[in-house]
Structure 1
Amino acid sequence: MDVVVVVDSERISLAALLAALVACRTFPESRYHFAAPSGCPFWRQDALRGLAADLAIPLLEIPTPALQVEGRPYRILNKVQALAAFGARPALLTDSDLFFHRPLPAEYLTWRACPAAVPEHGQIELPWQRLYEACGLPQPQLRQLCGSGAASRPWFNAGLVAAPDAAALGRAWLEMAERVNHLEWVPRRFPYLDQIALPLAMASLAPQGTLTAASVLDGRLNQNLFHWQKDQSYVGNGIGLHHHGRLSLVQRYLPGLLPWAASVHPQARSIIDRYAAYEEAPSNG
């Protein structure tokens, strides 16, 4: 199973290497691919590229995003461009701060003829009917359960997306992002443009022309760790852990995982320690 991860900064590169190290132990069927824009720090870090080479991780150079969203550069577009450049092959796009602590069965994904993604933790109110109409798509009847338990219109976490044809989804996602970016009546385009455009792109590629239950992946593939949640021991029953850089919480709920990953490669302990240094103290908000 091909897993595509963007590595466009040192912190994100360290997180992606940690995910690949964990997968060596927990998900050996996965094949990680790193995508980095030309000129980003990853290409200048010999140690990081060397470890990627030791782990047999192919590197994909992608263009630096030119899109401006509400007057600001939109680096999140890197994930869209990574899919577009990967080719007409199935792929699983993940955020760098998500790793699999048990295998994801390939047959769970291979039967799907359409792109699919995991629900977001919380819902967001947007002018969805007008958005679908502006993109020439019927509004889906589907309602999904967010991680918070709320019933919501399709609203996905772009940190885990399955594509039967990576290039096709990347192109459609980029097209929808550029289209939505020009709709000034759409609020919160920064920073959510990628998430707003994702269900539109997925619907455009669905066989029925709309989102269905086949478009929604099980939330256990992307269980979030939050510093404000009291007890999150349930993450041990999941498959994918979206840790948001909180390695202290990973150590609390999955205490054996990081030492296990550290035994994969002589540099693994150094990667874990360097990444852990980025963890910020929890805020009060």
Structure 2
Amino acid sequence: MTDTHIFFVADGARLDWQSWLLAASLAQAHAGQPGVHLYAYAGADWLPQIGPVTRAIYSETGVELRPLPQAPEWAKPYPHGNKIVAATDRRGDGRGIFLDTDMICLKPLTALAALPDTHVAAAPEGRPTWGPDDRWQRAYDHFRLPLPEARVRLLRGKRPEHLPYFNAGLIAMPEEVGPDGKRFANHWLETALDFDHRCAIAQKRPWLDQITLPLTMARFGYTAHVLDETWNHSLSHRGDSIVDTPDVHILHYHRCMFLEAAPQWPGILSRFFDLVPKAHHAAARDGLRELGLTVGL
């Protein structure tokens, strides 16, 4: 069976607190699943500040804490680029799956490991947050690429068809080295840096990762495997339409108020405290409250 390497970035207090819930949910969703490996990445400045609650949760969930590789020279500071930097770390052959920390895993992600080595999987973005089309034309022109004929259907509002554009909160990528000696993550970082420094185009941030994801696929011959909404189910701004959908793999909550409105939340919180050693319950409650969640005594 192909190994599944699931990783996230927990660099800083807020991401650290979010990672507690993510790590617990990943461990619970993949209990008994062979070949699943979990990783958390933190920068050199944050690693010494990681406290006993985080370390205890990572120990209980089997998360390997790793230093974030050194950031490249972006044109301007770009914290979102940490996901690309983390992706370049070598974890082993198989399928790498990056997750944002503001996510809860409800079902195993191992089916994504069965994709061909040339496929990169992600769900479309909800809305066309970067554009319009003439800006995309310039982006593809920068790399001397034709504008794609393929379209994806965005997942929110009127769900329009759009040039390939994906939410970068969940990306499943091959870990194998290609014929040029590089992995997908190296190609993505190379593309993002080139676009950041050399393409004179407006409003790259914070969407640089999402802009360059389809550009990387087009440059290096990867196939976009378009996931449906169950793989990256956004809870934000749904109002009364936040419902318990049993086929969802990932809840992407963005803000605590949306997570607390989800019918799955009481069970998520209960299972979290079932996993955390009781000696750390009080400190864990404090951290979740700092994050913005309502947690009882």
* Equivalent pair of 1:26/1:101 in contact (CA under 8 Å): yes
Following the alignment from structure 2 to structure 1, what is the Cα–Cα distance between the partners of residues 239 and 40? 31
* Equivalent pair of 2:102/2:254 in contact (CA under 8 Å): yes
Offset at residue 256 of structure 1 (A): 1.6
Offset at residue 226 of structure 1 (A): 1.3
- Between 112-121 and 130-139, report the one with greater CA deviation: 130-139
Q: Counterpart of 2:146 in 1: which secondary structure?
A: coil
Offset at residue 273 of structure 1 (A): 4.7
Task: Report the residue type matching 2:172 in the other structure.
Answer: A
Following the alignment from structure 1 to structure 2, what is the Cα–Cα distance between the partners of residues 204 and 219? 26
Gaps of 5+ in 2: 177-181
Superimposed CA distance per residue, residues 121-159 of structure 1 (whole angstroms, 9 cap, x where no aligned partner): 111324222212211333221111111112111111111
Which of the numbers 7, 14, 21 marks the counterpart of 2:10?
7
2:93 is the counterpart of 1:81: no
Offset at residue 184 of structure 1 (A): 5.0
Following the alignment from structure 1 to structure 2, what is the Cα–Cα distance between the partners of residues 54 and 22? 12
Following the alignment from structure 2 to structure 1, what is the Cα–Cα distance between the partners of residues 245 and 285? 20
Task: Report the residue type matching 1:205 in the other structure.
Answer: F
* Equivalent pair of 1:116/1:202 in contact (CA under 8 Å): no
How many residues are treated as equivalent by the alignment? 272
Q: Counterpart of 2:169 in 1: which secondary structure?
A: strand
2:66 is the counterpart of 1:60: yes
Q: How much identity, in percent, do the aligned residues show?
A: 25
Per the alignment, do residues 81 and 108 of structure 1 end up closer, same or farther by CA in structure 2, a change over 3 Å counting? closer
Offset at residue 109 of structure 1 (A): 3.9
What TM-score does the superposition give when structure 1 sets the normalisation length?
0.85
Offset at residue 240 of structure 1 (A): 0.5
2:55 is the counterpart of 1:49: yes
Per the alignment, do residues 184 and 131 of structure 1 end up closer, same or farther by CA in structure 2, a change over 3 Å counting? closer
Offset at residue 278 of structure 1 (A): 2.1
The equivalent of 1:17 in structure 2 is 20
Correspondence 1:1-285 to 2 at 5 A: 1-28=4-31, 29=33, 30-40=36-46, 42-47=47-52, 48-69=54-75, 72-87=76-91, 89=93, 90-104=95-109, 106-112=110-116, 113-123=118-128, 124-126=130-132, 127-148=135-156, 149-165=159-175, 168-183=183-198, 185-207=200-222, 211=223, 214-227=224-237, 229-233=239-243, 235-246=245-256, 249-250=259-260, 252-254=262-264, 255-266=266-277, 267=280, 270-271=283-284, 273-279=286-292
Gaps of 5+ in 1: none
* Equivalent pair of 2:40/2:65 in contact (CA under 8 Å): yes
* Equivalent pair of 1:226/1:243 in contact (CA under 8 Å): yes
Offset at residue 270 of structure 1 (A): 4.1
Offset at residue 229 of structure 1 (A): 2.6
Following the alignment from structure 2 to structure 1, what is the Cα–Cα distance between the partners of residues 202 and 288? 34
Following the alignment from structure 1 to structure 2, what is the Cα–Cα distance between the partners of residues 60 and 144? 35
Following the alignment from structure 1 to structure 2, what is the Cα–Cα distance between the partners of residues 6 and 33? 9
